[in-house]
Chain A
Amino acid sequence: DGGITQSPKYLFRKEGQNVTLSCEQNLNHDAMYWYRQDPGQGLRLIYYSQIVNDFQKGDIAEGYSVSREKKESFPLTVTSAQKNPTAFYLCASSLGTETEKLFFGSGTQLSVL
């Protein structure tokens, strides 16, 4: 179960507040990803990073921001501009974007107060 750690497991956001979800991996993976999962839907890509200090928008990046200052860390900030943030957020990593196997963290459930 180790290798990629997300925290916290549960997070509550007040209106107008920014919140940050943590994702850390010790697998020495270059690529890291953030996915959003809504009930009854598949995983949708928010942002991904192929290498330190570089990241690209996914399919639903609006209202989110990321940073990749260290290889092992890829935090996701859910900003107040994201009007419907309630979802299960999954972080994942792989050796590189050309390699195939994705390893997932255990997820963060974000809810709005």
Chain B
Amino acid sequence: GENVEQHPSTLSVQEGDSAVIKCTYSDSASNYFPWYKQELGKRPQLIIDIRSNVGEKKDQRIAVTLNKTAKHFSLHITETQPEDSAVYFCAAKITKFYFGSGTKLNVKP
């Protein structure tokens, strides 16, 4: 089955800096790659997603890039704010979703 690896497990940045989280996947049949943000004790919320026929997608301060050849995709957050602090999960989907282990992002004011 699919295997999704996510790095780093924790990331600490200064407010205003950029943050990058990377995921790799193993199955080239994966065709959909969402990113979820989860605040402590809350439900995961979809923040951005990308399909396998697209290389990059941007939504305000958040962007996702996909490299199908290398089988990796990344989340980029620019101009980070304290409210960006949360755990971020990547996922890859074939018929089911396979999740990465999460990155705890801490934005220091």
Residue in B4, B9, B93 whose CB lies within 8 Å of A100: B93
- A85 CB-CB contact with B under 8 Å: no
A34 contacts B by Cβ under 8 Å: no
Q: Quick check: A100 and B99 within 8 Å, CB to CB? A: no
Residues in B with CB closer than 8 Å to A100 are: 32, 34, 49, 51, 93
Whether, in the assembled complex, B43 has its beta carbon less than 8 Å from a beta carbon of chain A, the answer is yes
Distance A104 CA – B99 CA, assembled complex (angstroms):
14
Partner of B42 from the list A58, A98, A101, A106 (CB cut-off 8 Å) is A106
Do A43 and B49 touch (CB < 8 A)?
no
Contacts of A101 in B (CB 8 A): 34, 46, 49
Asked if B6 CB lies within 8 Å of chain A CBs, one says: yes
Q: How many A-B pairs with Cβ below 8 Å?
A: 50
Interface magnitude class on chain A: 20 to 34
Residue from A90, A102, A105 within 8 A of B46 (CB atoms):
A102
Contact A48 to B96, CB < 8 A, known contacts A41-B101, A42-B89, A107-B41: yes
* CB neighbors of A among B62-106 (8 A): 89, 93, 95-97, 99-102
Interface membership of A45, Cβ < 8 A? yes
Q: Tell me the complex Cα distance, A40–B45, Å.
A: 18
Residue in B43, B46, B102 with the greatest tally of chain A CB atoms within 10 Å: B43
B8 on interface, CB distance cutoff 8 Å = no
- Residue-by-residue, is A82-113 near B (CB-CB < 8 Å gives 1, otherwise 0)? 00000000100000011011101111010000
By Cβ-Cβ distance, the 3 closest A-B pairs, closest first, are: A42-B99, A104-B43, A43-B99
Q: Which residues of B contact A (CB under 8 A)?
A: 1, 4, 6, 9, 32, 34, 41-46, 49, 51, 89, 93, 95-97, 99-102
Residues in A lying within 8 Å of B, measured CB to CB: 33, 35, 40-45, 48, 58-59, 90, 97-98, 100-102, 104-107, 109
